[in-house]
Structure 1
Amino acid sequence: MAIKTKALLVLLVATCMQYFANGEQQVPCFFIFGDSLSDNGNNNNLQTQAKSNYNPYGIDFPNGPTGRFSNGRVTVDFLAELLGFKEPVPPYANTSGSDILKGVNYASGAAGILLESGKRLGDNIHLEKQLRNHRVIYSRIVRKLGGSRKAKEYLNKCLYYVNIGSNDYINNFFLPDLYTSSRIFTLEQYTNRLIRRLSENIKELHESGARKVVLVGLGALGCIPRFTSRNGSCVDEFNEAAFLFSNKLNSEVNTLNNKFTDSSFIFINSSSALDLEKFGFTVADTPCCRTREDGQCVRNETPCPNRNEYVFYDEFHITEAVHRLIAIGSYDQIKPLVQHSTNPPLQ
């Protein structure tokens, strides 16, 4: 078993090395909207349980804990590297100076498309507020570049990445004791509501210059350890919700492409097609760290040593190794979107 695991780890490293090579920056800036799968520090100073700026989060990150809900880097960090960025895209909470010309990460742990999603854990920056934060950054870019026309010309070449929606189910719809959503709407009605709201937000991004937009579907929500630990099986109704959301989002992407012919919208759902066993992931139903009642890692506990074999770091969030593979799968689909955006970034 040890020999087989070592061979699979070599395969994983070899697969990654062919992608992660130094190259020119393919887009001038990269803007990120989402939840804890993308958050890299925006929740650190919020009054919320949904924060991860403590050990053992970040145990494999060069700077230690940063607010990433993983043992190391997350998908958008790897995507930034694949796109030629020398540094990770900074969180909105820490942006300053000319950093904004390279992009901003607005993602927030526990955030949803709807304002109320995830609020049981405390404060978060829901998608509409992330858009408000982007309007602040847009205004600063307009001032820096000398007008809205120049700003939009610059932003037209940038990449926008939106990965959000899971908390609208696991921290809203499927908590009937805390939220009324499932008593007011059927699953399909609720999902339609989410897609409509998300589409409105994307149209606002278009108005401020977004022309290259990636929209990410949901993975198998019912197969995360928080839920499989109950009886060892995936929860079908959670997976059905994720599948429904992803299908409707895919259709909405087609609608957006037909409506905004000056833009390109891409739907991706790389996590749903990963052959994790091929790369040596042997533990898919147990977290790598010891978890507290809310499913996050217990502070300062020592996590599992064989983290490259685990799919999940805590009861909700995947390990750095899985994030890396998702980034590679995503980048393969994003390449057509960015291949013509080779103009060098402004200094």
Structure 2
Amino acid sequence: MAESHHAVGGSYRRHHGSMKLFVFGDSYADTGNCPKSFAVSWKEPFGITFPGKPAGRFSNGRVLTDYIASFFGIRSPLAYEGRNFGEKMEGEGMNFAYGGTGVFNTLVKEPNMTTQINFFEQLLEEKVYTKHDLNTSIALVSVGGNDYATYMAQNGSLEGLPAFTTSVINQLALNLKRIHGLGVRKIAVTAMEPMGCLPAFTASSSYQNCSGTKNTITKFHNQILQQTVHKLNNESRDSVFIILDLYKAFMSAFKKQENHPGSSKFENPLKPCCVGVTRGYSCGSVDESGAKKYTVCNKPELSFFWDAIHPSQQGWHRVYSALRSSLHHLY
């Protein structure tokens, strides 16, 4: 325990210099795995704030993964797809997250969470990482939203939702146990964001009101997740699994910031910075002749959301600030 007391000194960096971060999930965590040929994350204006051009992140800049890596004093882990381009891969771990994916198959054909863990297992079999590497390893799991988006797109009923949620969480629990079983020491899993507050669902009220129904779905998911993670921790000797409460973090960012002087104020937190010019278009859309069919706000740093689904860099920074106290449990 003494170690944490002089975390400010050199011991912190020394101890965490060898830390590895392994990331699984969706666009909230993806830093460049989706195919360049069609993913919007590789098109302008994504990446305009960081690194200055599109680089595979679903935001104008950094995403959750980047902030969590910075918390541990390491660089953001390499995107799994990037290993083919001769980048040194062992470094800080690896990011297996692909935008649009879920616990189960979704509307995109990118690898679901089971397949992402298969990729990780393959690297362990190839001895890219040793048991020693995994002693100081942490996993970040960000998943769930796309499973529900798929359920709704395929006309799943409200009555069927509780059973669907149970199946999602049961599979997620198996996945979490599997990652731990492969040797990862601690695992952070995100509770689902308030789905009803995503601009995709607040647009109909001119970005004024969250959808209560969709937030109820999210709350139920998070409640079952909480119970399941509690059970998993009781089965393991030390608390291996921690929940990063995105619901609470998003909600606290939406609140007016009068009581936090100096913190960034979001003009209208439910309104995205980058939007399609009309309903048929979205952030990053172009027409046949390549003309832009979207508009970008003047000051992205005043927007919590970058597009209809994803926080801006500033939005993620605020979420990260709200999650910091939870991240200490990963030591």
Fold similarity call, TM over 0.5: yes
CA contact (8 A) 1:211 1:262 kept: no
Map 1:152-191; keep pairs closer than 5 Å.
Answer: 152-170=131-149, 172-175=150-153, 179=154, 181-182=156-157, 186-191=160-165
Deviation at 1:24, TM superposition (A): 1.4
CA contact (8 A) 1:38 1:107 kept: yes
CA contact (8 A) 2:34 2:98 kept: yes
In the superposition, relative to structure 1, how do residues 308 and 241 fare at CA in structure 2: closer, same or farther (>3 Å)? same
Point out where structure 2 has 5 or more consecutive residues left out of the alignment: 1-7, 258-263, 287-291
Task: Determine if the alignment matches structure 1 residue 230 to structure 2 residue 204.
Answer: yes
Q: Please give the secondary structure, in 1, of the residue aligned with 2:243.
A: strand
In structure 2, what is the Cα distance between the partners aligned to 1:327 and 1:124?
27
2:4 maps to none
In the superposition, relative to structure 1, how do residues 152 and 219 fare at CA in structure 2: closer, same or farther (>3 Å)? same
1:251 maps to 227
Map 1:132-171; keep pairs closer than 5 Å.
Answer: 132-140=118-126, 142=127, 144=128, 151-170=130-149
In the superposition, relative to structure 1, how do residues 32 and 70 fare at CA in structure 2: closer, same or farther (>3 Å)? same
Show CA shifts across 1:137-192 (max 9, x none): 2223x2x56xxxxx23431321101010001112x1212xxx26438x72111100
CA contact (8 A) 1:289 1:298 kept: no
Task: Determine if the alignment matches structure 1 residue 204 to structure 2 residue 178.
Answer: yes
Q: 1:193 aligns with which of 167, 179, 182?
A: 167
Q: Please give the secondary structure, in 2, of the residue aligned with 1:99.
A: coil
In structure 1, what is the Cα distance between the partners aligned to 2:285 and 2:41?
10
Q: Please give the secondary structure, in 2, of the residue aligned with 1:213.
A: strand
Q: Please give the secondary structure, in 2, of the residue aligned with 1:114.
A: coil
What amino acid maps onto 1:40 in structure 2? T
In structure 1, what is the Cα distance between the partners aligned to 2:315 and 2:9?
19
What is the TM-score with the length of structure 2 in the denominator? 0.83
In structure 2, what is the Cα distance between the partners aligned to 1:111 and 1:127?
7
Task: Determine if the alignment matches structure 1 residue 110 to structure 2 residue 110.
Answer: no
Map 1:60-99; keep pairs closer than 5 Å.
Answer: 60-85=49-74, 87-95=75-83, 96=86, 98-99=88-89
In structure 1, what is the Cα distance between the partners aligned to 2:36 and 2:114?
19
Q: Please give the secondary structure, in 2, of the residue aligned with 1:58.
A: coil
Task: Determine if the alignment matches structure 1 residue 38 to structure 2 residue 16.
Answer: no
In structure 2, what is the Cα distance between the partners aligned to 1:326 and 1:160?
18
In structure 2, what is the Cα distance between the partners aligned to 1:62 and 1:100?
22
2:260 maps to none
Deviation at 1:290, TM superposition (A): 2.6
Task: Determine if the alignment matches structure 1 residue 326 to structure 2 residue 319.
Answer: yes
2:90 maps to 100
2:284 maps to 297
CA contact (8 A) 2:242 2:329 kept: no
2:261 maps to none
Deviation at 1:40, TM superposition (A): 1.1
CA contact (8 A) 2:192 2:246 kept: no
CA contact (8 A) 2:40 2:284 kept: no
In structure 2, what is the Cα distance between the partners aligned to 1:293 and 1:272?
32
What amino acid maps onto 1:152 in structure 2? K
In structure 2, what is the Cα distance between the partners aligned to 1:63 and 1:309?
18
In structure 2, what is the Cα distance between the partners aligned to 1:21 and 1:315?
41
In structure 2, what is the Cα distance between the partners aligned to 1:103 and 1:261?
25
Deviation at 1:271, TM superposition (A): 4.5
Q: Tell me the matched-pair count.
A: 300
Deviation at 1:332, TM superposition (A): 2.0
In structure 1, what is the Cα distance between the partners aligned to 2:172 and 2:103?
7
In structure 1, what is the Cα distance between the partners aligned to 2:203 and 2:114?
33
What amino acid maps onto 1:127 in structure 2? M
CA contact (8 A) 1:78 1:324 kept: yes
Show CA shifts across 1:213-241 (max 9, x none): 00110111011111111234322221111
What is the TM-score with the length of structure 1 in the denominator? 0.79
